Amino acid sequence: MTSPDNVPLIIPISLGFVNAFIVKQDGIILIDTGIPGSEQKILDTLRDHGCKPRDISLIIITHGHQDHAGSAASLHELSGAPVACHADDAGFLEKGKQNTLKPCSITGYFLQFIFNRKKLSEYPSVHPDILIDAPFDLESYGISGIIIPTPGHTKGSVSVALNSGERFTGDLIFPKIPSGKPGFPFWAEEPDLVLDSIRKICDENCSVIYPGHGGPFGKVDVMEMVKGVSAE
């Protein structure tokens, strides 16, 4: 299921308004898990590509919000795969409750009243097996790439950077409404760190960016957004 030169297979999974991703190379990793109850669609997608739940070698949670970590507990149980997240977001997963969203845009200000509700902020708790606080090599999980801390949206946000150029960024970059073009996140715990984190993932090897919502985005479009925000 990989090309002859072993380029990873990227399998996006649309879970309503949020994305999860299966990456298959010599191993299989799952990046994010959607809201609670998303596990069946993820497993169906896995089976459609000839794989079983136990083939997942690692579950990576980009940050501890419900729409990204909501099905981590069930998928951990079904697959037996370890769960990895940043140490600073581990408490959200262990409690099964995200932090209060902090708006940094007009859109975020109005949407916070919806997404800060208890129903949209709690999820089944799961104990992370691997805590990230520095670049983490994925070679032992059969993937050529690393997990890197990219704080901003949350203090403990992480992204996945593949050697082949793909980047998976969680909520570091949001699609603008209504254009769908790359934009600044609606909410951020540490807004001053967002642009630095985006620049970090948009290195010379970056080719395409897969965000947690919308996308994918080209590197040029993302860097144009960064320049525009920096000039404001």
Residue 148 vs residues 41, 60, 97, 178, 197: alpha-carbon distances, Å: 27, 11, 23, 30, 10
Per-residue pLDDT of 163-190, as tens digits, reads 999 999 999 999 999 999 999 999 999 9
Q: Residue 187 has what DSSP assignment?
A: B
- Domains (range + CATH), the chain: 9-231 (3.60.15.10)
Per-residue pLDDT of 49-96, as tens digits, reads 999 999 999 999 999 999 999 999 999 999 999 999 999 999 999 999
Provide the pLDDT for residue 6.
Answer: 86
Provide the pLDDT for residue 107.
Answer: 86
Mean pLDDT on 195-214:
97
pTM listed for this prediction: 0.95
Provide the pLDDT for residue 1.
Answer: 38
Per-residue pLDDT of 131-152, as tens digits, reads 999 999 999 999 999 999 999 9
Average pLDDT, the chain: 94
pLDDT higher than threshold 50 for residue 103: yes
CA atoms of 208 and 101, how far apart (whole Å)? 27
Provide the pLDDT for residue 132.
Answer: 98
Q: What percent of the chain has pLDDT over 90?
A: 86
Provide the pLDDT for residue 114.
Answer: 83
Residue 37 vs residues 19, 31, 42, 52, 209: alpha-carbon distances, Å: 14, 16, 10, 18, 26
